[in-house]
Structure 1
Amino acid sequence: MDISVLGVSRPSASGRQVVQFRTDFGSATACWFGDATVLPGEYSVEFDIGREDLSWGRDVRPAETQAPGVRESGDQIVLRGLLELAADGHVSLRLGYSLSLLGVVDSVPAVADRTWVELVVDSADVTLYPYDS
């Protein structure tokens, strides 16, 4: 996903840089994995959700709005996108053209495949991995 890094904060408790960023779908704050000298500017990144205990109804739930979105809610980040279920039980979230693997989400009903959902996790659980596009 293409983002604009707007600012860089001091490292988090885990020692990772924290960046404020903007996408075509909204803005939020997340951890940065890459060059420690990240500067404000344009980057292509992959979102990584560092949680393995995601659950339907708690962390992933149906969205009221049917459009991609990125926003903050207190210390949490809300990612809204299309849920995609794989035959092997893995779940992905599509934000525009970007696809983020969520792993296995407990109790996702099969009818949720290709529906709009919101993923709500602590901002510290979201890491942006830059790559060359």
Structure 2
Amino acid sequence: MPIDRRVIDRYMLAMDSDYPRYLELGNWRCLRPQWPHRERFARSLIEDAASIADADLETLLEGGWRPRVTAAWLIGVGLRTTFRERIGTLLLDSEVCYAGSGYWFALARFGTAEDAGILTAYLDRYLPQTGLDYDQGAALGALLHLDTRLGTDPRGSPGRSVGDDGGMLVRVEAVRPASSGVVRVHSPLGTVEVLWQGAAEAVGREHHVEWTVDEDIVWTVNARPSASAAPALREDGDRIVFRGQLSLFEDGGVALDLGGTSILFDLTGPPPPPESGADGAWVEVRVARDRVSLWPCVL
């Protein structure tokens, strides 16, 4: 059953920056102090969180990852604690990729021992499943936030360890002209020049970083199988080439794993046929340089 278009347009596709709301929530860019749209985006999100009807939130939660992550953020910002059980069920079921970031935000925002218990149950279920390690560092981060807030120590559970989810460590070097916002990035996988989204004074140092790419994957156009089974990063003219392992999700989402660092994409056009073996395969993705951004992590 299709989702009510009015709800999608009003809440998920709201344009309070250069991109629809769900994209900004999905990559957490809205939380960065230097983000130019932060005040406008936050004001609109707070207003919608206060006014959205419960029925519209339920409608969003019935969709794929895009409406679900939007709903979870609205629930968290608006402190709609009546949705706690629903959020917990969706988190434990983990039916779609990417939506988990919204669930963790909502539970961290609620801030009670019950919410910490839901996160603990999620980690108890999924940490032992080493093939299902998507974004568990963020779930641990939410749990550590509640640990600090509540004065408890959920990390003390037997068998649990907290990993380093701080992103890829790179050295960022200035290029000319500095006003272009482009930096030279020296990483363990290669050296490229991309857009820097951190503070200007942070250039010239090492940082743990996250990569974002504002270009969809089109199979056989900008993404193809690779003969090499090793992560890499390089330039090819005005293109940045990422080599990593591809993961395909049922709702059209794509993740490219670069030796432990994941980059999220949307898939445009027909998906790779099952016989191609693309899911889990080593691939190269070529994207325009000006579509690639580097964000410093706050550790």
The TM-score normalised by the length of structure 1 is 0.88
Match of 2:201, SS state, is: coil
- 2:229 counterpart of 1:51: no
The residue type equivalent to 1:59 in the other structure is: N
Q: CA RMSD in A?
A: 1.5
What SS does the corresponding residue of 2:203 show, helix, strand or coil? coil
1:72-87 matched pairs, under 5 angstroms:
72-87=235-250
Q: Which amino acid aligns with 1:41?
A: R
2:290 maps to 1:124? yes
* Over 4 Å off, 4+ runs: none
Q: Distance in 2 between matches of 1:79 and 1:24?
A: 13
Task: Extract unaligned runs of 5+ from structure 1.
Answer: none
Matched residue of 2:200: which SS?
Answer: coil
Q: Residue 124 of structure 1: SS of its match in structure 2?
A: helix
Identify the structure with the greater strand proportion: 1
- From the CA coordinates, give the structure whose radius of gyration is larger: 2
Structure 1 residue 103 displacement after superposition: 1.6
Q: Is the 8 A contact 1:76 1:123 kept in 2?
A: yes
- What does 1:63-102 align with in structure 2 at a 5 Å threshold? 63-102=226-265
Aligned partner letter, 2:184: Q
Q: Structure 1 pair 66/105, CA: closer, same or farther in 2 (3 Å)? A: farther
Report deviation, 1:22: 1.2
**Kindly tell me: are residues 105 and 69 of structure 1, through their superposed partners in 2, closer, same or farther at Cα, counting changes over 3 Å?**
farther
Query: Residue 31 of structure 1 aligns to which amino acid in structure 2?
Result: L
Cα shift at 1:74: 1.1
Would you say 1:31 and 2:195 are equivalent positions? yes
Distance 2:241 2:179 in 1: 21
Q: How does 1:9-20 map to 2 (within 5 A)?
A: 9=176, 10-12=178-180, 17-20=181-184
Q: Where does residue 6 of structure 1 map in the other structure? A: 173
Q: How far is the alpha carbon of 1:20 from its aligned partner?
A: 0.3
Q: Is the deviation greater in 30-39 or in 90-99?
A: 30-39
Is it true that 1:112 corresponds to 2:278 in the alignment? yes
Task: Please list the CA deviations of residues 45-91 of structure 1 after superposition, one character each: whole Å capped at 9, or x if unmatched.
Answer: 11111114x31111111112110000001111101000011122200
Give the number of equivalent residue pairs.
128
Residues in 2 aligned to 1:11 and 1:83: alpha-carbon distance in whole angstroms: 35
197, 200, 206: which is aligned to 1:42? 206
Q: Distance in 2 between matches of 1:75 and 1:59?
A: 13
Native 8 Å contact 1:8 1:40 kept in 2 = no
Q: Given residue 124 of structure 1, which amino acid in structure 2 is its aligned partner?
A: D
Q: Identify, as 1 or 2, the structure richer in helix.
A: 2
Structure 2 residues not aligned, in runs of 5+:
1-167
Q: When the two structures are superposed, what TM-score results if normalisation uses the length of structure 2?
A: 0.41
